[in-house]
Structure formats: C-alpha cells, structure tokens
Amino acid sequence: MKKLALRDEILLEVDKAARYIGGEVNAIVKEKSEVDIRVAFCFPDVYEIGMSNLGMMILYHMFNDREDTWCERVYSPWTDLDAIMRREGIPLFALESQDPVKDFDFLCITMGYEMCYTNVLQVLDLSGIPLHARDRGEEDPLVIGGGACAYNPEPMADFFDLFYIGEGETSYDALFDAWKENKKQGGTRRDFLLKAATIPGIYVPSFYDVSYHQDGTIASFRPNCPGIPSVIQKQVVTDIKKQYRSFEKPVVPFIKATQDRVTLEIQRGCIRGCRFCQAGMIYRPDRERDVDELKQSASAMLKNTGHEEISLSSLSSSDYSQLKELVYYLIDNFRDKAVNISLPSLRIDAFALDVMGKVQDVKKSSLTFAPEAGTQRMRDVINKGLTQEDILHGAGEAFRGGWNKVKLYFMLGLPTETEEDIRGIGRLAEEIAKCYYEIPKEKRNGKIQISVSTSFFVPKPFTPFQWAGMCSEQDFIGKAKICKDEIRSQLNQRSIRYSWHEPDVTVLEGFLARGDRRCGSVIEKAYRLGCLYDAWTESFRYDLWKQAFAEEGVSMDFYTLRERGEDEILPWDFIDAGVTREFLLREWHQAKKGLVTPNCRQKCSGCGARRYEGGVCFEASR
C-alpha cells in the first residue's frame, strides 16, 4: 500500500480530503523501475474541475499507453491545503504515486482558460520548481504548456520551457522519443530543447526574441538560434476516424466532479464560424468520429465506470451527421439502466425536443438557447446563423412539448453594438414569453420562467474580432443597466430573471487573452501579492491585480481598450492556427458590414483549413 503524501491529521483538517489521496477506480499505476519517462499532468484548478477535462483524460490514457511512460495526475490544492503545505514545507505531489512533482521528467500543464494563470505559478511554486524557465537546472522537470490558451502563450512565456500547439495525439510521441534519445546521448537540457523546437507544434520561448516600437506595439518577433522555425504549425489529427486515441476506462473520482458523467467526444471542430468564438476557429476543420466506434466506446465507458449519465461532447452537437443514429442507439440500449443522456450545444428543433422528451425525467428541466445577441443585425455581425424566427419557433415547439423553463445566453459589448441592440435582449425575452402565453391556458405547464444571462465580450486570438477593442469596466456596467431596465419595462417582466457576469473579471481576462511577454511580470506580481483561484468569485482579488499593474508600470488599457491596426504584429502571429490572417481580416470586414458567411457545409469560405486534407472541407472537395 502506497504511503500518502499528507498525514492523517492534515487530511482531517482540509475540505474534501479525497481530492488528494488518489487510488480511484481506473487510475493507472505502474512500477517506477519499469518506465523511462515520468509525466506529471496538471490541470491548474481544483480536482473536481480538472477531473471533468476531456483533453486531460485523452492524453492521460495516451501517455500511459506507452510502455516506457507513466503519466500521473496533479491538481491545484485548494487554499486550505495550500496554506498548510507552505507552512510545513510539503511539496506538491502527483496522485497515483504520491511522489513530489519535482521528481518527474515532465510537468505538463493544460491551460483551458486565462483565469487559471496564477494557479500555474502556484503549482510551480509548491513543487519547488523555479518560476522562470531561465532559472531551472538539469534536475528540474521540463514544464510544458498546452490547451486553448497556448494559442497565445506569450503572457506565460517566461514560466514555461516549451508549449505544445494543437492536438496532443500528433507530436507528443516524437517529443518523448527525443527526450529519451537526448538522455541516452548525455545531452543537456538545452540540447533537448533545441531538438524539441524542430518538432512540429513545439514552441520554445527562450529561442525567440521580441522587440517593441516606441508606442508599445511589437516591432519584431524572430528566432534567436539557427534552425529554429519562424512559424509554429498547429498540430491536427487529420483522419479522426482512424487516428482518434479512444479510451474505455475513465478514472472515476471519489467525490462528485463538475461533470460527473461519461464524456464521449463525437466530433472536433465546428462548421458555424461564429466570429467571437475562438474554439470554432482554432479547432478547424470539423471532423466526425465513426458512429459505430462511438457506440462501442459509450457502452464500454458506462460499463467500466458505473456512471449514470453520458454527455455527447462537441462544439455543436446538432451538426454531427450521425447524431440521430447514435442517440437512438443510446436510448434503446440504456433506457432500462436509467442512464441519462446529456446533449450540450444542441439546436432546439423537432428532433432535439423528441430526444430530450425521451431521455429526461418526467419533470422536464430547462432548455437552453444561446442567441448571443438581441437583434438580427447584431446576430448577423457575429455570424451566429440564427434568426429570430428560428428562436421563437424553437421556443414555441418546446412550450407545446411541456417545457416552461428557458435559459437565454447573450453577450454585451460586441463590436458595432448599439443601445438598440442591447434593448433587443429584453425585447426578445418578452417575445419568447408571449410564445408561451399563446398556448391555451389548460395546456400550459405552470408559469413560464425565463432566465436571461449576459456575459461581456472578450476579443480572442485567432478570431475575426481579434482586432476589436474591448469596453471598459464602467461601460460594461452601463450596458448591463440598460439591459436590466429594458427587461423591467416588459409586460411579462415578472417571468424574466436577469443576471450578468462580473465586468472586472472580464476586463482582466481580456488583458490575459491578448497580452504579450511584458504581461508576465504583472501575473507574477499578482501571484506574489496573493492572487489565486481568480476564476472563483470568492477568491478573486481585483484590488491586488490593480496593485500589480501599478507596481509593474503596465497599462491594462493598452491591451484591452484599443482597436488593433490591421498591419500590427499581434503577439500570437508567429503561430499558424490553420485559419489564415487573410480569412480573419475578411471576416472582420464582413462583420463591420453586417454580412453573413455561410457555414462550412453550405459553402467553403477559404479559411485555410483545407490544407489538412481532413474533415468537412476535404470531404466536400472530393
């Protein structure tokens, strides 16, 4: 029996001690003496959230499929254990072996959202690994960053030895093989990094120099070593039906995870082209998994975990061409086993309502619509591909099917937004309420409940809106007030509940999303001042972040408020994410004109993803 890294009295003192003990069903344990490579794979947030991350699940099993590699999991300790570990000098450890992270060869950190950046520094700090890559020695683990935020790695460049850009199934084997070969030859840390930098998709920040104009914009970004590529190519699994690294035994958490269910990825990418959506751009092209393989995987994962729910994961589930066959298979085979089927990102149409009516409990839960904008003009600007008629028809069908709770998601602060667009949110909610009251009273299912939620727009890298400026915190608050007042003026305002995202968190997210290397000093200062778990409302300390900006002499407004020039070098321009700059600029101009671009199945828009010769664009061209 393994010895736990934490004493019993510590486990009794902290909240949810099961976060830290490992030993879960399907966790992979190997003999240290029988492997050559040890990988600590970290999700820099609490266990419950990290255990729900699909990308981490896939790579955990992929790495462990190698006989020479043992991959273990690491999560951020919650604040109570964080304080104890610092007080008693306990190093951060991996769950499976309970060994210190510092003893591993690699520390892989996936960054799914910008507000986890101070937690990344917490993980390094508690592990006893120098925060700055330049300060690490031969015995320190190599720190690799990945995930969606790696598409602009520059704010975190000082803290990572290397970044992996793209889908992990493609180049990690080559990276691990290069490490083994370098070790066999007696090579140094730098020798390995030089080899790694030539592997497709690998970015080593220390091998690149940045210079700046007097106005603060980037003057140049270029390699400082011979043989280092000037452009990093995103890695993509081109034939997902053959190359997908499926797994059938997900680790089952001891405590309830955020998504306490089997997650089945049915496709990658998206055909829609919403101009605000980073995922829809960086994960192109749209690629579907084989439906028969999905049926087999679903059955095996449910059997091997005991979960009572399965979620079909996709950016737009309705666009999976074999969705009906897959869903009805799951209904027919698991209805008697009381397995619930979760269908996120589903358009509300007759098929969706039929399916939800079959898979949900007798007491129907709420339906979710994401119009994103309140007027048709604004929906055309963002290329949502959804008309008011579509929304009202879907709501009406749902109400006639027995639903009476609707959640509506919108964004405020989108490019070209007017007050009329803001007020359109309340008016659209009112029109949806009217749809309900058009149903004869005896056929209604109680009182209508409409929940309107607005987030604030953040322009993300590799989207057509990457050149747009953000609103200030006060502007966001003003827009939310207009929206709230409009909702209160509606006839059915008592049936409409309104909530909005915190503007201070949004503004900081914008800074982190579009920052350059100079932003790293602010992140480090904020961490040292006490910022941690910034994605958690109860932990977020905007006052400390403001102090960090002031002490480092960095202007947040420079990164958030200003619109970028079309000829400006952006911090992430050295990455080829598959969609071309020309396409993104064309879409930016289309947005300003309010012109809609057809989805990928209707017409190829020439985004650049055809080069991968896979997925929807390749199929359409044959």
Q: Which residue, among 97, 99, 95, has the nearest Cα to 31 in the 3D structure?
A: 97
Percentage of the chain beyond pLDDT 90 is: 86
For range 131-149, the mean pLDDT: 98
Higher pLDDT, 239 or 164: 164
pLDDT band at 171 (very low <50, low <70, confident <90, very high): very high
pLDDT digits (tens, 9 = 90+) for 512-551: 999 999 999 999 999 999 999 999 999 999 999 999 999 9
Percentage of the chain beyond pLDDT 70 is: 98
Q: Phi and psi dihedrals of 486, rounded to 5? A: -65, -40
Residue 621 in this model has a pLDDT that exceeds 60: no
| DSSP H/E element including 382 | none
Lowest mean pLDDT among 4-8, 361-365, 522-526: 361-365
Q: If you average pLDDT over every residue of the chain, what do you get?
A: 94
For range 543-566, the mean pLDDT: 97
Q: Which single residue is written with the structure tokens 């977020």? A: 540
DSSP 612: G
Residue 359 in this model has a pLDDT that exceeds 70: no
Q: What is the pLDDT of residue 465?
A: 98
Q: What is the pLDDT of residue 363?
A: 44
Rg (CA), the chain: 25
Residue 151 in this model has a pLDDT that exceeds 80: yes
Lowest mean pLDDT among 302-311, 363-372, 463-472: 363-372
pLDDT band at 365 (very low <50, low <70, confident <90, very high): low
Reduced to 3 states, what is the DSSP secondary structure of residue 442? helix
DSSP one-letter string for 84-137? HHHHHTPPPB-TTT--BGGGSSEEEEE--SGGGHHHHHHHHHHHT--SSGGG--
| DSSP H/E element including 147 | none
Contact 247, 58 (CB under 8 A): yes
Q: Which residue, among 366, 365, 306, 364, has the nearest Cα to 338 in the 3D structure?
A: 306
pLDDT digits (tens, 9 = 90+) for 258-281: 888 999 999 999 999 999 999 999
Q: What is the pLDDT of residue 354?
A: 76
pLDDT digits (tens, 9 = 90+) for 489-506: 999 999 999 999 999 999
CA atoms within 13 Å, Cβ hemisphere of 498: 22
Residue 73 in this model has a pLDDT that exceeds 90: yes
Task: Return d(Cα 417, Cα 372) in angstroms, integer.
Answer: 12
For range 586-600, the mean pLDDT: 97
Q: What is the pLDDT of residue 622?
A: 44
Q: What is the pLDDT of residue 362?
A: 38
Higher pLDDT, 310 or 401: 310
Structural domains present in the chain: 8-233 (no CATH), 238-361+579-622 (3.30.750.210)
Q: What is the pLDDT of residue 360?
A: 58
Task: Return d(Cα 269, Cα 284) in angstroms, integer.
Answer: 5
Q: What is the pLDDT of residue 575?
A: 98
Q: What is the pLDDT of residue 571?
A: 98
For range 356-361, the mean pLDDT: 65
pLDDT digits (tens, 9 = 90+) for 178-205: 999 999 999 999 999 999 999 999 999 9
Q: What is the pLDDT of residue 617?
A: 81
Contact 24, 254 (CB under 8 A): yes
Residue 618 in this model has a pLDDT that exceeds 80: no
DSSP one-letter string for 541-603? -HHHHHHHHHHHT--HHHHHTSPPPTTSBPTTTTEE-SS-HHHHHHHHHHHHHTPPPPPTTT-
Residue 576 in this model has a pLDDT that exceeds 70: yes
Residue 350 in this model has a pLDDT that exceeds 80: no
pLDDT digits (tens, 9 = 90+) for 429-488: 999 999 999 999 998 988 999 999 999 999 999 999 999 999 999 999 999 999 999 999
Residue 353 in this model has a pLDDT that exceeds 80: no
